[in-house]
Every structure is written in structure tokens, then in C-alpha cells.
Amino acid sequence: MFSTHAHAAKVYQVATDAAYAPFESLNSKKEVVGFSVDILEAIAQKTGMKIKFINTPWEGIFATLPNGDRDMVISSVTITPERKQSMDFSEPYFEAKQLIAVNKKNKVSKFTDLKTIKVGVQTGTTGDEVIQKLQGKTSPNIKRFESTPLAIKELENGGVDAVVADNGVVVNFVSNNPKSNLKTIDDATFAKEYYGIAVKKGNKALIEQLNKGLAAIKADGTYEKIYTKYFGK
Ligand code: ARG
């Protein structure tokens, strides 16, 4: 609690779009909670890092790194070759893939069935990218939302016919909201994705610290404990 050092230790500012349960969301006390949060807190504890989570909108979240507003982004961010050009990533802390949500009565059974129907996605996510590949970048049937919960709300309201988003988030919503009458559809063509912690390009020291911490919590069972807390055995 109390620092014995003459200078206050740096508090790393961490951006997260806390509308992505069970990875990062706000609890009733408006605190940022979730799997990603627990993982970074455990890493910070291992490496003696002080961190502060700041709920940050997804749109523009990566721009907070080069401009120095935030030191890290942990927000279920998929490591992609394109993103790696403008930021650096830790080793992966979670494996994911895309998943489709539709109304239970919908006849959609595979990804290519989404070719000509209205699909909701969170702007600039990997879900947005996969549907662009199927429908074309400028397709009027891609409906973009600033958060994934807003896209799902539109699906419940019938404004879109399907939502494409990360599997953990879609499964979490569908199983916690049986009254919404949604089902999930997996597709073999969806590639594996890996979540990483993003930092400003070139911040090697911070990446090394994060990777060291991540390796340590994997080695001592902390990672597994956190995993089980959110996803079971
Ligand atoms: N994994 C996806 C991506 O990196 C979606 C992440 C969205 N995260 C969030 N907290 N809204 O594009």
C-alpha cells in the first residue's frame, strides 16, 4: 500500500472498452471487471507494476497509445498483421474466433448465408473485417455500431438479421439472455484469433515486462485459476 520510495511509482494508464463481458465490462459500482482485467492485474502484481483502468471507447482506442494518453490497451484486442504495423503486442493471453448470433427461427446455418442479409458488427473489429470480406467493404447490409452490445440490441429489435463478434462475448450474451431468443452459429472458416495487450510501437521494455508477468502467471497456476473463474474447466 505505502511506497517507501522517494518518488511515486509510475501508474500505467490502461485503456479498455468495458462493454465486452466477460472480458471487460462495468459492474454495478462502475468498476472495470472481467477476464482481461484479472489477467492484467495478476501480471501487474507479479511485476510490481501499478495500473489504472480507464473505460475508453473502442473507436480511437489505439490512437491513445502514440499520443501518450494511455500506456496499454487491454480490450480483447486481436493481434493482426495490420495492427502490428502501428503498435506492439504482448504474447497472446487468450484464443478466440468469430461467432454468429441470429434469432432462433432464422434459417441461417453457415457464414456464407450472411452474404445478402443485414449484419451488425462493432466498427473496426475483426467481426467487421470478416463480414467485409464476404459482403464487400461498401456493402449497405453491414450495419456498424460503436459497441457490441448495441449491435446485439439491434438484433433483438430485428433491425439486423445477424451479429458477428468474438465467440466468448456472443456465448456469454446468448446464454445469459434466454428471453432474447438468439442462437449461435459456428463456421469452420473462421480463423483462430489471439488477444494481446497493445502498447506504443517501440516500447520494448514494457512488452518484456508484460511477457515476463504473463509467463509467470501461467507457470504458477494463476492464469488457470482466472481462466476457470470465467470459463470453467
Ligand atoms: N477481438 C476483436 C478485435 O480485436 C474485438 C474486440 C472488441 N473489444 C472490445 N472491448 N469491444 O477486433
Give pLDDT tens digits for 76-110.
999 999 999 999 999 999 999 999 999 999 999 99
Pocket test for ligand 1, best of 17, 72, 77, 194 (most atoms within 8 A of CB): 77
Quick one: which atom of ligand 1 is closest to the CA of 128? 12
| DSSP result, 137-204 | TT-TTEEEESSHHHHHHHHHTTSSSEEEEEHHHHHHHHHH-GGG-EEEE--TTPPPEEE--EEETT-H
What number does the ligand 1 atom closest to the CA of 58 have?
Answer: 11
Of 53, 70, 54, the C-alpha closest to 62 is: 70
| Cα–Cα dist 212/127, whole Å | 30
Q: Which atom of ligand 1 is nearest to the CA of 83?
A: 4
Hey, how many other C-beta atoms are within 10 angstroms of the C-beta on 106? Answer: 18
The pick from 53, 86, 166 for probing ligand 1's pocket by mutation, whose C-beta has the most ligand atoms within 8 angstroms, reads 166
Report the percent of the chain where pLDDT is more than 70: 97
The residue nearest atom 5 of ligand 1, judged by CA position, is 125
What sign for the dihedral angle of Cα 68, 73, 78, 79? positive
What's the 233 CA to ligand 1 centre distance in angstroms?
24
Q: Is the pLDDT of residue 202 over 90?
A: yes
**Distance of CA 89 from the midpoint of ligand 1 (Å):** 14
Atom in ligand 1 nearest the alpha carbon of residue 147: 11
Is the predicted ipTM greater than 0.95, yes or no?
Answer: yes
Who lines ligand 1 at CB under 6 A? 17, 19-20, 24, 58, 75-78, 122, 125-126, 148, 166
Q: Is 57 helix (H, G, I), strand (E, B) or coil?
A: coil
Which one, of 124, 18, 126, lies nearest residue 62 by Cα? 124
Dump pLDDT digits (tens) for 151-193: 999 999 999 999 999 999 999 999 999 999 999 999 999 999 9
Q: Is the pTM of this model over 0.90?
A: yes
Average pLDDT over residues 138-157: 98
pLDDT tens readout for residues 11-68: 999 999 999 999 999 999 999 999 999 999 999 999 999 999 999 999 999 999 999 9
Ligand 1 atom at minimum distance from 23 CA: 10
